[in-house]
Amino acid sequence: MTALAKKVFYPADEACARLGITMVELAVLVSEEKITLSTAVPGLVVEEGRYETAPDGARNAVAESTLRVRGLVPLRPDDGWYVLRSGSQMIFSLGAEPGRYRRIVSGGDDERGYTVIREEVGVTHAELLRYDALLQSLDDEQGVARPGRGGPSAYDWRAADLEAFRRIYFEGVPESQGALIRHMTAWFSSRGGKVPNESTLKRQLRHIWAQFGSEAKPNGP
C-alpha cells in the first residue's frame, strides 16, 4: 500500500484507487468481512445490547442501552455489499462486535430504518491500516516481502518495481491493471526464475497502479 495521508475517511472510489482494486473487488472483500465499510449518519436512535443463548438453544437479544449516534458508523457486511452492488440499501442495524448488536430504533424520515447510498460509503483510515496489516500477514505466510518491509522474499520485487516504472516511462501506462500484470508475468518468466501468481502480482504492484492508473488510455479500435 502507498503511504496514506491521514484522512479520517476515504469514499469508496478513492479507497479502491488507493488499494488498486475495482469496486467489485471491494464488494467481495466487504462480503468476506475483510474490509468494513462505514457511512456518516446525522443522528440515529440506536439500541445496543448483547445476544444470549437460552437453554433451548434460542438466541435472545438483551438490550443494555439506548443512545443517539452521529458521525461515522460501521455497516454490517451484508448491508455494505448491497450498497455497493445496488447503489443504496435500507439498513435497520449497524455493525457491532461479535455477540453484540446495534439496532436502529429511529432513523428519522425512514422511521426505524435508514437509507444508505453508495456515494456516502467508504473506508476509514484505521480500517485501511488494519487491512494493510492483514495483507502483510498473508504475504509473510507466502514468503513475499513488500516495499519497506523486511522478511524473506521468493521474488526480486525491487527489480520488478524498476521494470514496471521502465515500462511506464518508455512505453506509457498500460491500458489496464491486467495489462500491467501480464507484462510483469512475462518479465518474471523471461528471467527464468519463479513466476508469482496473478493475485500476488496485483497486491505487490497496486501501489504503482494507484499512482499511474488514472493516466491509462484504452486501446483504440
The residue extents of the domains of the chain are: 9-127, 147-215
Q: What's the pLDDT score for residue 92?
A: 94
Q: Which of 36-40, 124-128, 148-152 has the lowest mean pLDDT?
A: 148-152
> For 108-130, how does the pLDDT look when each residue is reduced to its tens digit (9 = 90+)?
665 678 999 999 999 998 898 88
Q: What's the pLDDT score for residue 150?
A: 44
pLDDT at residue 91 greater than cutoff 50: yes
Q: How far apart are CA 221 and CA 217, in angstroms?
A: 12
> For 174-204, how does the pLDDT look when each residue is reduced to its tens digit (9 = 90+)?
999 899 999 999 999 998 888 888 888 888 8
Q: Which of 83-97, 131-145, 177-191 has the lowest mean pLDDT?
A: 131-145
Maximum C-alpha span of the chain:
70
Alpha-carbon 134 to chain mean position: 11
pLDDT at residue 169 greater than cutoff 90: no
Q: What is the mean pLDDT of the chain?
A: 84
Q: How far apart are CA 25 and CA 19, in angstroms?
A: 10
Residue 10: pLDDT band by 50, 70, 90 thresholds?
very high
Interval 6-23 mean pLDDT: 86
The CA-atom distances, in angstroms, between 89 and each of 13, 28, 79 are: 18, 17, 7
Q: What's the pLDDT score for residue 68?
A: 94
Q: What angle do CA 126, 130, 134 make, to 5 degrees?
A: 170
